[in-house]
Amino acid sequence: MTTAPTGPEPRTNPERATPKTRTPGERRLLGGLMANSLALYAIYGAVPAVLLANLVADVDPDSKTTSLGVISAVGAFGAMLANPVAGALSDRTHGRFGRRAPWMAGGSLLGGLSLIALGLGNNLLWIGVAWTLAQIFLNGLQAPLTAVIPDRTPEHRRGVFSSAAGLAQMLGATLGTAAAAAFANELGLGFAVFGVLVIIGTAIFLLLNKEPAAHAPEGGPFRWKTFLAGFWVSPRRHPDFAWAFAGRFFLILGYYCVFSYQLYILDDYLDLTRDRANHLVPLLSMAMLPGMIVMIVVSGPWSDRVGRRKPFVIASSIGMAVALALPLTLRSEASMFAYAVISGCAFGMYMAVDTALMTQVLPRPDEAAKDMGVLNIANALPQALAPAVAAAVIGVLGGYSALFVAGIVLVALGALSVLPIRKVR
């Protein structure tokens, strides 16, 4: 494992004593991490919502909704499996180029080429295979990239790096979606641009932050049975890990259950016209953005200074619950904008400290990428499940009021789940 604490050793509590200035090595690591995350999440914002949707509509206009749903589901399943597997394989990688760098280089190159191939697709099978391969390879990049924080930063600086990663992810997804609109009539060029972008972003990181050579891991020769068994992390032996997984799962599910149904909430719950609802959805997203950015930038370094993570997660959960309660009690456009502003602030705070908290509950530092990949399931799975869970709540429990209540309950469970964690304050 590569451990390179940057900055002077703290003389007192390492969680509280934070260096005021960053070393050149820390600045390079921070800049490279942001560049790579920005490029990667630009793809996640641009491709599913814009480029892929337009490509499927061109190839299969009569059944575009169903076809896009199937292709997206298969790709998401491949991504969810690839992330922890790629992370575990990188944990066991050794050689002159280190553990993470070979997987990041290979994942970005093959992922970028898959995107270029996707842009050449003229039938659904080609599109489905190319997008699934792109998801698999890009998660081969994402898993070791996520492990950079626990690998190469001290605990008392992880709030800063968590904030930087969260900011880059949010900006990448937002800017990627906006930039993709310019390629609506040149889809092949659009896929190629984003494919090259992720290759360049990864190259910047690897050139600025060369990883030392890694020795062969302990534990004997590679065996598939042992490898696969390693993905199970016992809640009894590692309760902090299990509680962190549950907290992330519930909070993300509660947030996206409502967020993913904003259009239908405006249309059916507020009884607006479809045109009015479509006009308001991007405005609600814009209303979320300023507070989200501010809280991402502020909360991570703040959590480093006070040496605590859990109060920020609990505060963000309370903020989300308050935001969800507003349209539940006040059915109006104004209440939806208030929901957007408050939930944006709350989710920004959560994004700023979530990664830092997760890195502090890992069972084994030498398997950081694998365990971070497992924890990433608690992020990806609820986003995939959210539309189905929301539909079930609305249909079975009685409409959109029940959906807001369910969201409040879920984010409250997310807050309660972090309370039993012992390793993190």
More confident residue, 349 or 146: 349
**What DSSP string describes 184-253?**
TT-HHHHHHHHHHHHHHHHHHHHHHSPPPPBPPPSSSS--HHHHHHTT---TTT-HHHHHHHHHHHHHHH
Q: What is the per-residue pLDDT for 408?
A: 97
3-class DSSP state of 95: strand
Angle at 376 between CA 69 and CA 317, to 5 degrees: 95
pLDDT band at 218 (very low <50, low <70, confident <90, very high): low
Average pLDDT of the segment spanning 162-177: 84
Mean pLDDT of 377-403: 82
Q: Is the pLDDT of residue 193 over 90?
A: yes
Rounded mean pLDDT, 151-155: 84
Of 194 and 220, the structure prediction assigns the larger pLDDT to: 194
- Residue 11, pLDDT > 60, answer no
C-alpha 23/C-alpha 152 separation (Å) is 13
* Contacts of residue 322, Cβ cutoff 8 Å, sequence gap at least 6: 342, 346
Note whether 345 and 319 are within 8 A (CB): yes
Residue 6 has a pLDDT of 41
272: left (phi over 0), alpha (psi -120 to 50) or beta: beta
Whole-angstrom distance, CA of residue 83 vs CA of residue 381: 12
> What integer is the mean pLDDT of 327-341?
94
Choose the CATH number for 24-229 among 1.20.1250.20, 3.50.50.60, 1.10.3720.10, 3.40.47.10.
Answer: 1.20.1250.20
| Mean pLDDT, residues 346-373 taken together | 85
* 239-418 has the same fold as 24-229: yes
What are the residue boundaries of the structural domains of the chain, listed by start? 24-229, 239-418
pLDDT in tens, 12-69: 344 344 444 567 778 889 889 999 999 998 998 788 877 888 898 899 888 886 788 7
Among the listed residues 85, 195, 177, the one whose alpha carbon sits nearest the alpha carbon of residue 131: 195
Q: Tell me the CATH architecture of domain 239-418.
A: Up-down Bundle (1.20)
Short-list 257, 249, 256, CA closest to 358? 249
pLDDT at 1 over 70: no
Lowest-confidence segment of 156-165, 293-302, 404-413 by average pLDDT: 156-165
The band of 222, judged by pLDDT with boundaries at 50, 70 and 90, is low
- Residue 155 CA to residue 226 CA, distance in Å, equals 30
pLDDT digits (tens, 9 = 90+) for 61-111: 888 867 887 888 788 888 888 888 888 888 888 888 888 899 999 999 999
The closest alpha carbon to 351, from 27, 37, 4, belongs to 37
Q: Pick the range with the lowest mean pLDDT from 39-43, 147-151, 367-371.
A: 367-371
- pLDDT bracket for residue 146 (50, 70, 90): confident
What share of the chain has pLDDT > 70, as a percent? 90
Share of the chain above pLDDT 90, in %: 36
